[in-house]
Amino acid sequence: MKSDYLEVKELIKRQVMDNEIMLYGDLFANYQKTYFWTNENIRGFINLLEDPSRALIVLSSGDLLFSLLNKGLLNIDTFDTNNMANYFTLGLKKALILKYNYQDFKDIVTKLKNYNISVEELSIIILDLIPYMDSEYRHFWYEIVDYNYFLQKECHTHLNLLLMLTLNYYRVDILYKLDYLKNEEEYNKLRCNLLLSNITFTNCNGLLLNDNFSNPYDLVYLSNIMDYFYPYHLKEFNINDALNYVTRISKLLNKDGLLLIDYLFAYQLCDFTEEANLVLQQDVLFDSKIDLLTFIEASQSSIITFPHLNLSNIKSAMMYKRIK
């Protein structure tokens, strides 16, 4: 048994003992709650990509991974500071796709997010996925399902194991902004490409990517990774630090490679000069001081704004840099 699994068991135990599902769990623990679905509009930027052959991406919910596979990209290195993303996405979620056809997949994931599902039914569903997992993930889910069943079998009410391990973020409009779930044909394309793919996972901090990866990539996608540098890892992280980080990560790109980072930031974009041109009907702000560094307004890009949060003073954007 991996001693690391003790963190997962402790996360489950705390919620069962309190009879309450935690919102986040312990931020930046080795095993923390991970996203079940993306909260990014991947369809909003996926067409910016020009058939890359090798990519490095944040794993998280895996929806970008599956979207790239659906697009035909088969060689993808993934990373995350959260080991749960590895076991959930490359273990359970991948197995769901391989096991179920298009309609059954949509039905089963709805059931998996049901607060009232019994511990017996959920255990059976997960264990039925085991044959579709690699050995590393089989061992993890066997052990975690068994532990959860042991804790809850005598309880009058049951907490959903997957809701205890994932962030409870589910919106139909997000789900159907994923091309691989657009229709049965696209979903089947993903299933076929999964069997042909070469996917790796590395548990590492986004600040140390240059120490962990050396392949020249056509695409490096880092999502909103810079949100977590300040204040969690760095006492200060300003726009110049962001630009320096982009320069450093760009060393992982090959010629014509593309770096994408999107994030919420509070810096004033008035420092940048607005260009008259449009990219995919998106307003573009260009920093003339930094060659080929562009900010794309997020309303048509990858960040989805949350209606229950007041983000009126925060600018949402995607930065991208192409190496020529």
* pLDDT per 10-residue tile (average), the chain, 324 residues: 77 95 82 87 71 92 95 96 96 98 94 93 98 96 97 92 84 69 95 97 93 91 76 63 80 85 41 26 31 36 33 43 52
> What pLDDT was estimated at residue 27?
73
pLDDT of residue 324: 47
The pTM assigned to this predicted structure is: 0.82
Q: Among 190, 225, 245, which residue's Cα sits nearest to residue 58? A: 225
pLDDT of residue 307: 33
Q: What pLDDT, on the 0 to 100 scale, is given for residue 147?
A: 97
pLDDT at site 192: 98
pLDDT of residue 323: 54
Helices (H), the chain: 5-18, 63-71, 83-85, 94-99, 102-112, 119-127, 135-152, 161-165, 172-175, 184-196, 209-212, 239-249
Distance of CA 190 to the CA centre of its chain: 17
Query: What is the reported pLDDT for 52?
Result: 82
